[in-house]
Amino acid sequence: MSSYDRDATEKTQVLIVGGGLVGLSTAMFLANQGIASQLIERHPGTAIHPRAMGFTPRTMELFRGAGIEEAIRRIEPPIPQGNQVLLVESLMGQEFDRFQENVDSLFIDASSPVHGSAIAQDLLEPVLRTRAEELGADLHFGTELVTFEQDEEGITATVRERVSQRTPTIRARYMVAADGSQSAIRKQLGIGQHGTGSMGHFISAIFEADLMKVFRERQVVMCFLSNEQVAIGSLVPYPGSTGRGDIFRLDMGYDPEEETLADYPEQRCLSLIRAATGIPDLKITLKATLTWEMNALVADRWQQGNIFLVGDAARTQPPSGGLGANTGIAEAHNLAWKLAAVLRGEAGRALLVTYDAERRPVADYTAEQMALLSQQRHSEGSSGITVNIRDVNTGYRYETGAFVHEEGDEQLPLALSPEAWRGEPGTYFPHLVLAQEDRAISTHDLIGSHFVLFAGPDGRRWKEAAQHVKETLHIELASYQVGGEAGDLIESENRFCETCGITSTGAVLIRPDGFIGWRSKSLGESVQQEQNVLMGAISTMLAR
């Protein structure tokens, strides 16, 4: 852990407040783009208890791009497959219903070159921290934000090291608020929230026990339960890995007007856990108890001057569907490449406005869908399940933002099955398996921290235009011809043009975050026109 040498003014490009999953991801993504940041976190270290678990293929693509996929694979537990979400009397007791949810799709998706991960938050955060520091991020745990002010040119913040009580000042160009659902920064800025308010209050009992064999034998990934002792509850396993054993979490509904955490001493929690599992003599080690409130609230705006909200500070949603952390990490990645482009002088500051324009409508949609899923789980059972988690997570499009609109795209829906899109700007670029120098490669593996142009088998002139634009605008821009006699990439299934909605002479331009920013369905009338069109498209996306 780094520390401040004295009570003096420190300078950084980006100050990140909050060192959980999303804050650490923001620091890592920025550092991967060569942008210096300082992160402060009031707790002395990373998470000591599991919370979020289940990271989708898309999230793992982002982690792969930042160079941590292998580190995650070394410590992750096996992916649960063929598991059900059940409504039961207890883990060992009678089954009342099973929810018609495709749990496998959370981890395995044909539209991605990688599979998801069942790693839990307490195991993942140290990986993020290590990688962020390797890339040059300056992380300060045990440090809290005291005050902040902003002007047109940046942020001046006073922070406090909780052990030494030193109070250095930090001057940053931008500040990212990753300080959780009760975000003090959001409240100080006077930013309100909208959505579905309280959907229930819960007490979580986190414990160790020998239960994983029972979950596997019943093929249960989690279960909702109801009996005389636990009227409303759920039981979730966190499989162990390097450094810790299996951990479980029992969530129980309670009325905060009638009870507090003090009404749940250890012996009562142990009794409730045994009632939830249906094993009267179960040996239990209680690790912690805590309270939380379920809601689906989205901040009314995600940017105020030079300050941006990410993660739970920007939006909260029910844990149903397991998309909360995944959504926050996607937000961090979207913001990071835009901050990097502006700080490197490649883009105008107006690019930063598109963070709110793109991500907030997606958050409204996701929070709404997860609230619906949660309500249906608790009130109607499997017959009411209509939410497709995969489509919510991977099939959305940006309605406005840093891309070039096409005629009629205002009539497109916000979300579809990922396979239904055909290269529309604002959607995620599809995964296709190609060949490069006799080795198989995914289109996603060619996308990184810069723009990438893919041209059809007869669209080589787009590559020439891309080289001209690269030299003129002084930006990183890679280009590939897919198919054709002189192609850089070989395609065996001849799906590229159809999937991207272009002819053999067309091209698509992919942003650093993997979203389609522009396409031309065919060549222009001349090389000059193609250069001008591509120049205009990138200039539009970068607000130049």
pLDDT of residue 378: 58
DSSP 3-state of 544: coil
What does the alpha-carbon distance between residue 354 and residue 118 come to, in Å, rounded to a whole number? 32
pLDDT of residue 455: 95
DSSP code per residue over 435-459: EETTEEEEGGGG-SSSEEEEE-TT-
Domain spans in the chain, listed from the N-terminal domain onward: 9-78+115-193+299-393, 201-293, 395-541
The continuous run of DSSP H or E covering 85 comes out as strand 84-88
Which option is the CATH number for 395-541: 3.10.290.10, 3.40.50.970, 3.40.30.120, 3.40.50.1220? 3.40.30.120
Mode of pairing for the β-strands spanning 451-455 and 477-481? parallel
User: Which CATH number does 9-78+115-193+299-393 carry?
Assistant: 3.50.50.60
Angle at which helices 57-65 and 21-32 cross, to 10°: 40
The sign one gets for the Cα dihedral 334, 543, 32, 176 is: negative
Point out which residues pair with 452 in neighbouring strands. Answer: 478, 510
Whole-structure pTM value: 0.94
Point out which residues pair with 154 in neighbouring strands. Answer: 151
Averaged in consecutive runs of 10 residues, what is the pLDDT profile of the chain (544 residues)?
64 97 98 96 93 91 95 90 83 84 73 90 96 97 97 96 95 97 97 92 94 89 90 89 82 93 95 95 94 94 98 91 89 98 96 98 90 66 58 89 94 91 94 88 89 95 95 94 86 89 97 96 91 96 95
Please tell us whether the domain made up of 201-293 is placed in CATH 3.40.718.10. Answer: no
pLDDT of residue 99: 72
The continuous run of DSSP H or E covering 233 comes out as strand 233-238
pLDDT of residue 486: 75
In contact, 275 and 250? CB cutoff 8 Å: no
pLDDT of residue 380: 46
What does the alpha-carbon distance between residue 27 and residue 38 come to, in Å, rounded to a whole number? 8
Establish how many alpha carbons lie within 13 A of residue 460's alpha carbon, considering only the half-sphere containing its beta carbon: 8
pLDDT of residue 394: 83
In contact, 302 and 356? CB cutoff 8 Å: yes
